[in-house]
Amino acid sequence: MVDTVVQIIAQMADGTATAVGTGVGQAVSNVVRERLGRSEDGRSAIRAVDEQPADPVAGAALRALLQAEIDADPKFAQAVAVALAGAAPAEFPHSATGSITLHGSTVRGRNTISLGPVTINNTGTARFTLLAVALVFFGLIAAGIYGGTQLFGGGSTSARPMSALSDGATRRVLPDLSALPAGWTKSDGPAAREASQMSKDAGITHSEWVEFLMGSERGKLSISVVAFASEDKSAAFYRGSAERELATGENPLVSMPRIGDEVFAYSYPPGNGKEGSLQMMMRVGTVIVLIEGDSVEGQPFESSRLEVLAKMMAERAQQAQGGQEPVATARNA
């Protein structure tokens, strides 16, 4: 439900909600804005999505805050669900142990209830809101609000299916010096990281990394490419990693444009010995790319530099998954 609400607010902000969805969208927006407008964090989260509706970091921050509010207040959860439905339901769903009946159809589950991509904890509050969500779900698809690209976990940007990479193809996604802007030197060649059993269970098939230097050992650039067995596996891994990072709140997020399928970046706060460093995680189809840039000659690693490298790596990953040789460069950037 929360993912749906965030997408509605974003599409209301950028004007892509259809006429069918505008009424529901306005109702949902009013309920959420009234609640989150009570705190500075809430106002900031809403403002960030209003200003950059397509920014996955802004969407993820709003989602985390909204989820916390819904979990803490069943009445607010009810109000959101009713707004999604467009009107209060005529009657509540009849429930039985471990199941819910909606117009003669049963959704079964002991701990969670899944309706398409929406998963709800099987609690009293969730059972109350499920009917409203079900009523609006197919309407949102028809209105073009729920279907299509998600802000946070939204399918491939490539027109062609993204295939899983072999070990050799994963290594070739990594750039060499000829692909990088001038000034970098390579400390070592690409190196494979052996996947642990936990990594294998997450769908990781192979990973490679390479490190470059600039000026001194303080000026480091590390790039890793992690290949997964499928897009579903890579998306689940990315989503879990991003949500954990957002939940800790330890590292300030860095605004990034939409690159690849999903991307987020953060800096390190003062006092941990990595001031001026930036780290980015990006998903491109079945591949996740990690880029970490340390300060260069005492100067912070600029977000513009990170963006240039991310665009190059996104294109190289797309080329490899499309069966082509990765040839994209940032040499002239």
**How many Å separate Cα 217 from the centre of its chain?**
32
CB 45 within 8 A of CB 57: no
- Residue 141 has a pLDDT of 34
**Cα–Cα distance measured from residue 217 to residue 10, given in angstroms and rounded to the nearest whole number:** 42
DSSP string across 35-60: HHTTSHHHHHHHHHHHH-TT-HHHHH
Flag whether pLDDT at 55 surpasses 80: yes
**Cα–Cα distance measured from residue 143 to residue 86, given in angstroms and rounded to the nearest whole number:** 13
For 124-133, write each residue's pLDDT tens digit. Answer: 444 444 444 4
Q: Which residue has the higher pLDDT, 160 or 51?
A: 51
**Cα–Cα distance measured from residue 249 to residue 38, given in angstroms and rounded to the nearest whole number:** 21
What percent of the chain is predicted at pLDDT more than 70?
69
CA-closest candidate to residue 83, choices 132, 116, 21: 132
pTM of the model: 0.54
- Residue count (the chain): 333
For 261-278, write each residue's pLDDT tens digit. Answer: 999 898 887 766 677 889
**Cα–Cα distance measured from residue 19 to residue 26, given in angstroms and rounded to the nearest whole number:** 11
User: What is the rounded (10 degree) CA torsion for 33, 26, 76, 128?
Assistant: -160
User: What is the rounded (10 degree) CA torsion for 158, 159, 163, 169?
Assistant: -50
What are 118's strand-pairing partners?
115
For 68-105, write each residue's pLDDT tens digit. Answer: 888 888 888 888 887 776 533 333 333 333 333 333 33
DSSP 90: S
Q: In the numeric block, which tokens belong to residue 284?
A: 């491109």
**Cα–Cα distance measured from residue 300 to residue 170, given in angstroms and rounded to the nearest whole number:** 30
For 185-213, write each residue's pLDDT tens digit. Answer: 887 778 887 666 656 778 899 999 999 98
R_g (Cα) of the chain, nearest Å: 22
CB 84 within 8 A of CB 7: no
